[in-house]
Amino acid sequence: MYEELKKEIVDVLKFMEIKGLNHGRSGNVSVRIKGVDHVLITPSGLPKASLSTEDIVVVSMSGEVIEGSRKPTVELPLHTAIYASYNYFNAVIHAHPIYVTALAIAREPLPPVIEEAVLYVGGEVRVAEYAPFGSRELAENVVKALEGRSAAILPNHGVVTCGKNLEEALEVLVLVERLAQSYILSKMLGKITKPPDEVIKYLSELFRRRVLSLE
């Protein structure tokens, strides 16, 4: 089932590796199929850039394996918690890009220093409260950090980005990593500025309308 979507997941994983957005066995990707209680998700413990469509697992929202011989990623609770909480998200990417991970280690949020950060992410990328990877506590903490946003930083870990489809979730990931790089470089220059408050407010409203329209 879902051969085209499985191929899209595999292609995204290869793109992420090539572009330095993820590496090795880390990270995971999922797509939710509305109406049938199915989630396509990457398996545990394998190099992500070398996966094939046969490696992608189909599970229910309760975590039951419906199709596939692999074990789903340990971060399955994170993905299903996001889908259960936010009906407008149908794709989730968890990755470990260098610059966002640097902020994760520092446990420092990523402020909306460029306009696109508000328009496509919703504003500041918050840092979730710490919990061990793969835990339900981490899933709950990330859900809270994602409120009104399409991305959240996982402390000492990486980042989660979401979208109405996999293309949009990947677009958010690319934007957040470039934003993190620009932010860190600006800090090295010794000065950080943000768009005017009225611009942030206007773009935040546009983001909310776009997200809510997906329900």
Active site residues: 75
**In 107-196, alpha helices (H):** 115-116, 136-145, 166-189
State which H helix or E strand residue 4 sits in. Answer: helix 3-18
Spatial separation of the C-alpha atoms in residues 154 and 53, rounded to whole Å: 28
What φ, ψ does residue 150 adopt, rounded to 5°? -115, 10
DSSP 94-134: EE--HHHHHHHHHT--B---SHHIIIII-S-BPBPPP--TT
Q: Which two tokens stand for residue 94?
A: 């968890």
Locate tokens 């697992």: which residue?
Answer: 57
